[in-house]
Chains A and B, each alone.
Chain A
Amino acid sequence: GENVEQHPSTLSVQEGDSAVIKCTYSDSASNYFPWYKQELGKRPQLIIDIRSNVGEKKDQRIAVTLNKTAKHFSLHITETQPEDSAVYFCAASDNNNDMRFGAGTRLTVKP
């Protein structure tokens, strides 16, 4: 099955700085790559996703890039705010079946 690795496991940034989280995947058949944000005690919530026919996608302060050749994708958060503090998960799947997640990155944004 698919194996997703995520780095770093923890990330601390100053408010206003950018944050980057990187993931790699193993299965070349994977074609859907979502990112989830999980606040303490809450369920994971989808924040952005990208499909294999697209190299980059942006939504306000959040962007995701995908390099299919290298099998890696990244989440970029610009102008970070304290409310961005949470655990972020990347995931990979083939047409929404059998979705596998990375181990998560705990992002702390210091005011």
Chain B
Amino acid sequence: NAGVTQTPKFQVLKTGQSMTLQCAQDMNHEYMSWYRQDPGMGLRLIHYSVGAGITDQGEVPNGYNVSRSTTEDFPLRLLSAAPSQTSVYFCASTSQGADGYTFGSGTRLTVV
């Protein structure tokens, strides 16, 4: 099993550009989430999904969209990148009753 795979690992965007961060898991987990990590602020939940076709907002959803068309994939879209979205983004997945989330290796995004 590859676990949770995130691409790309690094990305530099110009303000106003759009892009999609990819996340895929091969563990048949029903729950998937996106977090951003900023210094001193821990991991903040952007969006999460409890199954294919179902998504919901976390604590910092503005400026981001998600979709969950399959169990395996949960892409995160930045519609119009802003410098405030410079961060490290982690995708994570788990299943009901499992021991916590499995995290991907992260995407370091810089918006200039």
Residues on A lying within 8 angstroms of B by beta carbon are 1, 6, 9, 34, 36, 43-46, 49, 89, 91, 95-104
Contacts and interface: CB of A to CB of B under 8 A. Distances in A.
What is the interface residue range for chain B against chain A?
Answer: 20 to 34
B42 A49 contact: no
B71 interface: no
B98 interface: yes
Given A1-B59, A97-B31, A97-B50, A103 B100 contact: no
Contacts of B90: 43-44
A49 B96 CA distance: 14
Given A1-B59, A96-B98, A43 B103 contact: yes
Nearest to A44: B103
A77 to B, nearest CB: 18
Contact of A97 (B44, B48, B98, B103): B48
A102 B35 CA distance: 13
Given A89-B42, A98-B45, A101-B42, A43 B100 contact: no
